Amino acid sequence: MLHHSPKVKADVLKRLSFIVGHTKGIQKMVEEDKYCIDIVKQIQAVQSALNKVNEMMLENHLKTCVSHAIKKGEGHKLIKEVMETIKHTSK
């Protein structure tokens, strides 16, 4: 279940829309045989943008779902899930 404020949702959707457009731009650069390093830099920018969205989603999850579960005495499962996700993300 998703529990995010309308502001968080709007910000995430805005950022994802930007990422989609940016990715299409990278595709066009490849089609047009642009300089490889320029393409790599744009890919890095998209990766950075995705990392920011990931951070926003994780923060929101901690503030909502995990916080709610802890208050109900059921936080261990969600904390374990978050930790596994963080470990997977850092690989």
pLDDT of 86 reads 87
Tokens 């909502």, residue located: 64
pLDDT of 49 reads 98
Q: Are 42 and 22 in contact (CB under 8 A)?
A: yes
**pLDDT of 1 over the 60 cut:** no
pLDDT of 91 reads 64
Residue ranges of alpha helices (H) inside the chain are: 6-31, 36-61, 67-71, 75-89
Whole-number Cα distances in Å, 2 to 23, 54, 64, 82, 83: 26, 14, 9, 15, 19
Tokens 């963080």, residue located: 86
pLDDT of 89 reads 73
Angle, helices 36-61/75-89, rounded to nearest 10 degrees: 170
pLDDT of 90 reads 65
Q: Angle CA(76)–CA(77)–CA(82) in degrees, nearest 5?
A: 95
**pLDDT of 4 over the 80 cut:** no
pLDDT in tens, 21-76: 999 999 999 999 999 999 999 999 999 999 999 999 999 999 988 888 899 998 89
Which domains, ranges and CATH numbers included, belong to the chain?
6-89 (1.20.58.1000)
